[in-house]
Amino acid sequence: MIIKDGTAPVSVRWVGGDDGHLELLDQTRLPGEVVWVECRDVPTVIEAIRSLRVRGAPAIGVAGGYGVVLAAAAARQRNLAPREARDHFLAAAEAIAAARPTAVNLRWAVERVLREVGLSSPPEAASVTPADLIGPLLRAAREIHAEDRRLCSAIGRFGADLLPEGDVLTHCNTGALATGGDGTALAVITTAWSDGRRFRVWADETRPLFQGARLTAWELVQRGIPVTVLCDSAAGHLLATGRIGCCIVGADRITAGGDTANKIGTYGLAVLAAAHGVPFYVAAPSSTFDLSIVDGTEIPIEHRGAAEITSPWGTSIAPPEAEAFNPAFDVTPARLIRGIITERGVIAPVTPDEVARVLGGG
């Protein structure tokens, strides 16, 4: 059913022109099935983002950009008065931006496509109608998508040159499934492999939704790169063996000081890596930085439903009276991060001054 051709999978695509629609590779069905979800309206996009059919900070940003195009199309179709249509459109765009709170790329992408078509303030919004905006919005969304491909390539290049000898341990999924291109942390791995480096990738299963086991392992198998899946709780034992040259992960939001929010379990992995003297790297585009905050305690952490913990895949594993604690992300302080790999270069040491220096290039 799945052909291994060594190329990166595609997770987000726009089909057609101004009257087209968004298609998302349903990541909740992987690795067993390859199913595409057609998104022809805003509620479908929001449901896909919230249910993790599309996931990964850059990928949901790309999806959010295309979702704004669908919001404009819906406002046009409702045959509302111009100002009412604009209000409907802008409310739908805000609903997309708010679909998941932790990953900053989603709101960044929505606000960028609005800004690039002159909708950064209400007075400007009053001079246009949604029908006028569909073409320009689609061009802006496509540019975000194309830009993400370029950013992933640059991150892969900077990171591959940095990768030390030894096997690599990663957490969650940071490949093509999580981005509009080749990935962030996984792009570092695949670029190094393409350069002739040889190693094994160890993928934390990443509970409770197993993005490492289901998605990262699937991507690496497609690329022909050796991968071993391990329980999250086995990471400390693996690091103690000395075979891991570095840990590398992605990010959903990074502060001006370098504190990093990523999939739950990342902080624990960073602590273990520090305890064993193993370099811990983060790979993310500049759009993942939220320079309005310095301290990671200010990052909003999404909490998800109890069933993901107590009844994974519909199978009850805890008594019904038990409560669940299910934060989707945690924050790794900058002091535990050896370097942050961006498309503009490597931030090392991870300090506010170095973040400002590397990201100050425009």
What per-residue confidence (pLDDT) applies to 1? 34
For every residue of 242-294, DSSP letters joined together read T-EEEEEE--SEEETT--EEEETTHHHHHHHHHHTT--EEEE--GGGEETT--
Let me know if domain 155-359 sits in CATH 1.10.260.40: no
Which residue is listed with tokens 């591959």?
A: 160
More confident residue, 242 or 75: 242
- Assign residue 227 a region (left: φ > 0; alpha: ψ between -120 and 50; beta: otherwise): beta
Q: What CA dihedral angle connects 174, 175, 181 and 184, to 10 degrees?
A: 40
Predicted confidence band at 361 (pLDDT cuts at 50, 70, 90)?
low
> Cβ distance 211 to 31 under 8 Å?
no
How do the domains of the chain map onto residue ranges? 12-149, 155-359
Report the topology of domain 12-149.
Four Helix Bundle (Hemerythrin (Met), subunit A) (1.20.120)
Mean pLDDT of the chain: 93
Q: pTM for the complete prediction?
A: 0.89
Dist. CA 280–CA 340, nearest whole Å = 9
Residues 304-340 pLDDT 10s:
999 999 999 899 999 999 999 999 999 999 999 999 9
| Strand partners of residue 170 | 203, 248
133 pLDDT band, cuts 50/70/90, is confident
Within its chain, how far is the Cα of 303 from the centroid? Answer: 17
Between the CA of residue 260 and those of 114, 127, 252, 296, what are the distances in Å? 27, 40, 8, 7
Query: What positions carry a catalytic annotation?
Result: 252
Q: What is the pLDDT of residues 211-241, one digit of tens each?
A: 999 999 999 999 999 999 999 999 999 999 9
Q: Which residues contact 185 (CB under 8 A, 6 or more apart)?
A: 159, 170, 174, 248, 249, 250, 281, 282, 283, 341
Do the two domains 12-149 and 155-359 of this chain adopt the same fold?
no
Angle, nearest 10°, between helix axes 57-77 and 130-162?
170
3-state SS assignment for residue 339: strand
